[in-house]
Amino acid sequence: MSSFALQMRQFQMDTNTRMDLFIQQTVQSLAKKVIQRSPVGDATYWQHSAPTGYVGGHFRGNLQYGFGSSPGGIVPDIDPDGDATLRKFAGISQPIGVHYIVNNLPYAQALEDGHSWHQAPFGMVGLAMAEINSELDAIAREASR
């Protein structure tokens, strides 16, 4: 193989590595923003009493990741501080493709629509998407180092 061909091959490998890192960092940053914005049930704001044994954090615990297809179902995880859920997103290493961050709980859309007006009056995902768009240049610079 010629020197030029080897250089082009190395360029391709370096570019692929940078793109994978860019995607990984973007998905992780977006997930972190959604997790941090996700409300945790606080019965002091509710019109009715919390059910016996209720512990807030089921919504955060149900944020799921999928690559290529959207994950289905509901998971039993409860994560009031979001740390365990954030760790689920830490190992993302998928290449270019469609990445999903989903919450399949029946009240997820209501929360996105501002139902939790004390904690997330403007939702979570829409705000996180708007914010991440303004950070893509910085993420790209970081990934290209």
Number of domains composing the chain: 1
Burial (0-12, 13-18, 19+ Cβ within 10 Å), 53: exposed
Does the pTM exceed 0.75?
Answer: yes
Whether residue 51 has pLDDT greater than 90: no
Cβ contact 127:50 at 8 Å: no
Residue 23 counted as domain residue? yes
Mean predicted confidence (pLDDT) in 32-43: 93
Residue 67 counted as domain residue? yes
Measure the CA–CA gap between 121 and 116, rounded to whole angstroms.
6
Q: Write the pLDDT tens digit of every residue in 108-126.
A: 999 999 989 889 999 999 9
Domain that holds residue 128: 3-39+57-143
Q: Write the pLDDT tens digit of every residue in 67-81.
A: 999 999 999 999 999
Which of 2, 13, 24, 47 has the alpha carbon at shortest distance from 140?
A: 24
Residue 78 counted as domain residue? yes
Residue 52 counted as domain residue? no
Residue 46 counted as domain residue? no
Q: Which helix (H) or strand (E) holds 102?
A: strand 99-102
Residue 133 counted as domain residue? yes
Residue 48 counted as domain residue? no
The residues, any chain, with a CB within 8 Å of residue 98's CB and separated by 6 or more, are 67, 68
Q: Give the pLDDT confidence score for residue 141 in this predicted structure.
A: 87
Q: Which of 7-16, 42-51, 71-80 has the highest mean pLDDT?
A: 71-80
For the range 114-122, what are the long-range contacts, defined as Cβ-Cβ under 8 Å and sequence gap of 24 or more? 116/39, 116/45, 118/39, 118/42, 118/45, 119/39, 119/40, 119/42, 119/45, 120/37, 120/38, 120/39
Q: Give the pLDDT confidence score for residue 99 in this predicted structure.
A: 93
Residue 50 counted as domain residue? no
